Structure 1
Amino acid sequence: MPAVTAADLILPPPDEGSADAAARVAAARALQERRYAEAGQPAGTTNASCPATLIEEAARPDAEGMALIRDAADAMRLSARGFHRVLRVARTLADLDGEARVRRLHLAEALSYRSRSDRRPAAA
């Protein structure tokens, strides 16, 4: 399993203005609401508010992403809640990119947002 590289974490500067970014966010939110409505969830459900079992299905990563999240969950000692938080952020990043599948890049970025205070302490 290759380590997360700086290239995975460094994104090029956005070429979009505020209006374009707002449109991309609105499109991602509409996509999420549609996805979860089709799964029988209440209107307005997004990645942030869907049940954990549903985010596991919606954010199922590609093979490289699966290896990364598995290794990161062990290395960072992610709780179930922390694991699902990473999946929610990664699914949102994929939605913003217009990607149907969560990829390694999305998971790497989501993992990079976790602060030290979010991580469980290592056993002594």
Structure 2
Amino acid sequence: MDKRRAVVIGSGIGGLTAALALHRSGWQVTVLERAGSLEPVGAGIGLAPNAQRALDVVGLGDEIRSLAAWQGEGGMRAPSGRWLARTDASAAAERFGGPLVLVHRSLLIDRIAARLPAAALRTG
């Protein structure tokens, strides 16, 4: 029987994670990216507990948590500076089943892409 094949369009976080999940399930995966290369673009992103569980499924959860910055207290302010809402990390972790971790988008992309075979990613 031939190996199952999949084509994933786009090498963003979702596309690469889907490709990695398929690869780990025995599929031959090709990721097509319009850009000429995977450049380190973006900013920091917050990974909620459900996103971290998805990374656990593809074998990256612990690695990303070990590299991430942990969020402390935070909230939203009005333009005047008055607090509209406040929270702290322990209350959020208790409510949602784990902490919010902060990591740079390019670091996450690099770590996911590194788990794919080199021939799987086609740019340009």
TM over 0.5: no
More strand by share: 2
Which structure has the higher relative contact order (CA within 8 Å, separation 6+)? 2
More helix by share: 1
TM-score with structure 2 length normalisation?
0.29
